[in-house]
Amino acid sequence: MESIAKQRRVFEKELLATLGSAIKGTGWKKSGGILFRELNGFFYEIRISVSLNDEKICVTQEVKPMALDLILWDILGISENRSEPLSFRSNAAFTCSGLPIYEEFLGKPNIGVSDAMIALRTIADSNEKLVQEVFSDTNFSTLLAQHPNQRERGAYAVTLVCSLINDGHLDAAADLASAYESGELESCMHMSCKGVSFHCLAVDWLASGRLLERFTR
């Protein structure tokens, strides 16, 4: 008898293959277990994680302004990443984390590939409306700063600094980067280039005024 984990791996492979065909022509693309697209200046992604221990599927929707990765790469001195394919923004090491805006667990006794695929397609089709609702009375930087993972662990420290720069709040971005660099604020998100931390590079980048017009509004 096949193990549950082996059966779930087979299910996952079939599901993702079916989903890849189902999203053709919708604007969404797929890389592994991630659906992604660019729309109206934002990068959207839907992360699909099939449990190997039960019949649940975790679906997480994330969003970030497209400009954030451009800012990050310029600060780190790796602007050549701009030429990478769109999927790079989902799974590469030097990218800004997206803001989770929704999480859902799909699953019921004996859920099949067809049912799961329909549910995932419905989620993808409603993504733009969800994002509009999330940002109806606030902005990306505010939501990011208020997220529990940011407040408790500084999980979006890098993304928040880049977002403040994108919003034109340069002094706030410099103050935040300085606080993380000095250790005044703690973060579980550490990023560096050639041995120099992102926050140190961001402070210097902001002080120099280099290329700011390309990114600020």
Q: Please give the C-alpha separations between residue 66 and each of 70, 140, 206, in angstroms, as whole numbers.
A: 7, 12, 20
Q: List the helix and strand counts (H, then E) for the chain.
A: 10, 7
Q: What is the pLDDT along the chain (217 residues), one digit of tens a residue?
A: 468 889 889 989 999 998 888 888 889 999 999 999 999 999 999 999 999 888 889 999 999 999 999 999 999 999 999 999 999 999 888 999 999 999 998 876 567 888 888 888 888 889 889 999 999 889 999 999 999 999 999 999 999 999 999 999 999 999 999 999 999 999 998 899 989 999 999 999 999 876 555 554 4
Closest CA to 191 of 181, 205, 176, 204: 181
Helix, strand, coil % in the chain, rounded to nearest 5: 50, 20, 30
pTM, two decimal places: 0.90
